[in-house]
Structure 1
Amino acid sequence: MKSRIFIYLFIFAALLSLYLFVSSNTMLENKDLKIQNLESEVNVLQDSVQKLQLQVFDMQYFSLQNNDDALSYYDHLRLENPSRYISDKLLETNEKKGDNPLVPYEGMESDFKINKIKILNHQWIIADFSDGKYWGELFLRYELKDDMGVDFTMMDHLLYTRSN
Structure 2
Amino acid sequence: MKSKIFLYLFVFAALVVLYQFVSTSTMQKVMSSDVQRLETEVQQLQDSLKKSQLKILDMQYFTLENNDDALAYFDHLNLEDPSRYIQDKLLETNEPTGDNPLIPYEGMESDFKINKIKVLNHKWILADFSDGKYWGDLIIKYELKDNLSIDFTLLDHLLYARSN
Q: Which amino acid aligns with 2:47?
A: D
Shift of 1:139: 0.5
CA 1:7–1:155 in 2, change beyond 3 Å: closer, same or farther?
Answer: same
- 2:23 aligns with 23
Q: Which amino acid aligns with 1:26?
A: T
- 1:115 aligns with 115
- 1:54 aligns with 54
- 1:141 aligns with 141
Correspondences of 1:75-86 after superposition (within 5 Å): 75-86=75-86
Shift of 1:3: 4.6
Structure 2 portions without partners, runs of 5+: none
Q: Which amino acid aligns with 1:92?
A: E
Shift of 1:21: 1.8
* Seq. identity, %: 70
Q: Which amino acid aligns with 1:128?
A: D
Instruction: Report the aligned-residue RMSD.
Output: 1.7
Shift of 1:2: 5.1
Structure 1 portions without partners, runs of 5+: none
CA deviation vs aligned residue, 1:90-149 (integer Å, no higher than 9, x gap): 112225322222111111122211111111100100001111111100000111111111
Q: 1: CA distance between counterparts of 2:43 and 2:132? A: 43
Using structure 1 for the length normalisation, give the TM-score: 0.90
- Give aligned pairs, total: 164
